[in-house]
A and B are shown apart, each in its own frame.
Chain A
């Protein structure tokens, strides 16, 4: 399946968001995630089903002014 992760098109095997994070090497409790502009909280990630062409934004805390 093709999805867009942080703006980059990627081929993935995962069906659920938690699996996708493992597959792509995103690990940790410091991630904030939106799929197609909707926030997916940490507790929702195990059961959140990924769909073809989903736009997935994976963010983390950063310095800011």
Chain B
């Protein structure tokens, strides 16, 4: 069982809610994959608009944990105010803290991230920081009070899968007791299997599901892939070898001359 800030979670797939063909497909993707945590955002409402109301109604019916994000924020100030607004509206201490450092790469601004995490944790937030696999940054986030880390494996929406497997492996080894959730860069279920086989605790996905030909089926495929990878990790996998090793016993082999 996964525990995030003392909240037990059965599903190791966290799902973003953006870019789906329709709200109904979001709902079906969530239900079909057993997802228990979804990410959501805050955006400007239009006068007389009902966008927020419709989405609010949708998320109420899903009966899942809400993880509001600070997506699109480029500064500490923006992220902190967005987090405060999210807490006011969604009545949760959870915040996916995302501060972007570069418009093109959407790389996390890790220096601002650490400072914003300190401010929000002081205010009682439970911060899920979107970060890189940099070990020093990870240490500073943990020192600030983060009890979960969310490293990328490739740029947001890139669908490239693991760019630096050694970096992710090191991060797992350095922080064996911190829940690690890969957030961003995954494109295929096989990417998810590989990450979970490294011992990662969960995966947060959005684009790979939302933009799939069949998002509902893809959400299910990812849920199964994540389970398979996790089971494999827990079962203990063989390390690769450079030489062949026969699986059938050699002793007792008949000799025909």
B17, B77, B88, B89: the one within 8 Å of A64 (CB): B17
Cα of A41 to Cα of B19 in the assembled complex, Å:
29
A25, A28, A65: the one within 8 Å of B52 (CB): A28
* Interface size range of chain B in the complex: 35 or more
With A60-B51, A63-B55 in contact, is A6–B44 under 8 Å at CB?
yes
Question: Which residues of chain B are within 8 angstroms of A33 by Cβ–Cβ distance?
Answer: 85
Cα of A42 to Cα of B90 in the assembled complex, Å:
12
On whether the beta carbons of A59 and B85 are closer than 8 Å, the reply is yes
Flag whether B62 is at the interface (Cβ < 8 A). no
Cα of A30 to Cα of B40 in the assembled complex, Å:
13
Closest chain-B Cβ to A23's Cβ sits at a distance in Å of: 10
Question: Which residues of chain B are within 8 angstroms of A62 by Cβ–Cβ distance?
Answer: 40-43, 51-52, 55
Closest chain-A Cβ to B196's Cβ sits at a distance in Å of: 20
On whether the beta carbons of B48 and A61 are closer than 8 Å, the reply is no
Cα of A34 to Cα of B48 in the assembled complex, Å:
18
B39, B42, B69, B77: the one within 8 Å of A37 (CB): B77
* Interface size range of chain A in the complex: 20 to 34
Flag whether A32 is at the interface (Cβ < 8 A). yes
Flag whether B47 is at the interface (Cβ < 8 A). yes
Find residues 34-50 in chain A having any chain B CB closer than 8 Å to their own CB: 34, 37, 39, 41-42
On whether the beta carbons of A63 and B45 are closer than 8 Å, the reply is no
Question: Which residues of chain A are within 8 angstroms of B88 by Cβ–Cβ distance?
Answer: 32, 39, 41-42
Q: Which residues of A contact B (CB under 8 A)?
A: 5-7, 24-26, 28, 30-34, 37, 39, 41-42, 57-65
* Interface pairs (26), CB distance under 8 Å: A6-B44, A26-B45, A31-B45, A32-B89, A33-B85, A37-B81, A39-B81, A39-B85, A57-B85, A59-B42, A59-B44, A59-B52, A59-B89, A60-B45, A60-B49, A60-B51, A61-B40, A61-B41, A61-B52, A62-B43, A63-B26, A63-B55, A64-B39, A65-B19, A65-B39, A65-B41
Q: Which residues of B contact A (CB under 8 A)?
A: 16-20, 26, 39-45, 47-53, 55-56, 59, 68-69, 71, 77, 81, 84-86, 88-90, 156, 206-207
